Amino acid sequence: MSGRLARADQRSLNDGIAVSNLSHGFDDAGVLEDVSLSVESGEILAVIGPSGTGKTTLLELLAAFYRPDDGTVRIDGTDIWTLSERDRLATRRRLGMVFQEANLFDATVRRNVSYGLHVRRGWRERLREWRSRLFGGSRTPAVTEALEAVGLGGAENQAVASLSGGEAQRVAFARALAYDPDFLLLDEPTSDLDPRNTAVIEEAVETARSRGLGVVVATHDMHQAERLADRVAVLIEGRLIEVGPAERVFTDPDDPRAQRFIDGELVYSAGENDD
């Protein structure tokens, strides 16, 4: 693959997420510049790069947190910012996202994991659900299944305050799985976890891929990217400098900066210029 081609992933997918020429910044400071990449169903794309390089902003743009300054975010070929608010909500609901922090609600594990299902219900159904919970409650199979997928079966009635950091992050992962999304966006999901919890999450990610979900995982853990990803994108200082199959990017990257980053020689901090 030529150097030019390796820096731009211009697949226009009818079955996946694709961003084209995406640029975005905050308060006049550019964070992302001209980024194009894609992930299709049943594929794991790892976005690697040092901290402060724009990975979180990229995932938030994919999740439609805000409209990009420039460029498009397409899901199954449709630019999400051309949709009506109602249709964009329906599109957003096809995505699951896990953050670096668990960001759990101060409630039971079940309430957290069922939240995605809860907001998809009409008000009448919500009222019925509330009534049923008041009188003993009924189990939701999707919640049980999602918790079992992260090794927390039986923890439904636990208060989140009683969970360890690793368990909390696994609940956050179950919460994103419970409503059966088509795509998963994972922002450094295991950066604060021990090896055991990391292994559980990685196994759940692989299961999600085998079920046909498209997964974008932002990480600065090169080994994790190598273990999980089908394709890898290297983001340095808000620019995509390399994208391609994981094996090639890790063994023979086109861009020398990607090689240096993979080798651990290139460490950036936000605002620092390369070379």
Picking from 125, 136, 175, the residue whose alpha carbon sits closest to that of residue 155 is: 175
Q: SS3 for 186?
A: strand
Count of Cβ atoms closer than 10 Å to residue 117 Cβ: 18
Positions in 174-233 near another protein (CB under 8 A): 175-176, 179, 185
State in angstroms the smallest separation of the CB of 64 from another protein.
9
Residue 185 vs 249, nearer CB to another protein: 185
For 17, the enclosing helix (H) or strand (E) is strand 16-26
Residue 111 vs 239, nearer CB to another protein: 111
Count of Cβ atoms closer than 10 Å to residue 127 Cβ: 11
Residue 173 vs 250, nearer CB to another protein: 173
State in angstroms the smallest separation of the CB of 112 from another protein.
9
Residue 107 vs 267, nearer CB to another protein: 107
Query: With contact defined as beta carbons under 8 Å apart, do 251 and 76 qualify?
Result: no
Q: How many residues bind another protein (CB under 8 A)?
A: 24
State in angstroms the smallest separation of the CB of 178 from another protein.
9
The two tokens of residue 36 are 């194009």
Residue 34 vs 101, nearer CB to another protein: 101
- Taking CB under 8 A as the binding criterion, the range among 139-147, 170-178, 212-220, 228-236 that sits at the site for another protein is 170-178
Positions in 24-83 near another protein (CB under 8 A): 63, 65
Bridge partners for 107 per DSSP:
none
Give one DSSP letter per residue of 211-235, joined into a string.
TT-EEEEEES-HHHHHHH-SEEEEE
Query: With contact defined as beta carbons under 8 Å apart, do 87 and 81 qualify?
Result: no
Positions in 93-122 near another protein (CB under 8 A): 93, 95-97, 99, 101, 103-107, 115-116, 119-120
Residue 104 vs 229, nearer CB to another protein: 104
Residue 110 vs 175, nearer CB to another protein: 175
Helices (H), 102-155: 109-113, 115-119, 123-134, 141-149
The two tokens of residue 35 are 């980024």
- Taking CB under 8 A as the binding criterion, the range among 23-31, 47-55, 171-179, 239-247 that sits at the site for another protein is 171-179
SS3 breakdown of the chain: % helix, strand, coil, rounded to 5?
Answer: 40, 25, 35
The two tokens of residue 60 are 């938030």
Residue 65 vs 153, nearer CB to another protein: 65
Residue 127 near another protein by CB under 8 A: no
Instruction: Give the CB-side neighbour count of residue 148, counting CA atoms within 13 A.
Output: 6
State in angstroms the smallest separation of the CB of 170 from another protein.
15
Picking from 155, 147, 229, 153, the residue whose alpha carbon sits closest to that of residue 186 is: 229
State in angstroms the smallest separation of the CB of 262 from another protein.
30
Picking from 157, 160, 155, the residue whose alpha carbon sits closest to that of residue 105 is: 160
State in angstroms the smallest separation of the CB of 63 from another protein.
6
Sites of contact with another protein (CB under 8 A): 63, 65, 89, 92-93, 95-97, 99, 101, 103-107, 115-116, 119-120, 172, 175-176, 179, 185
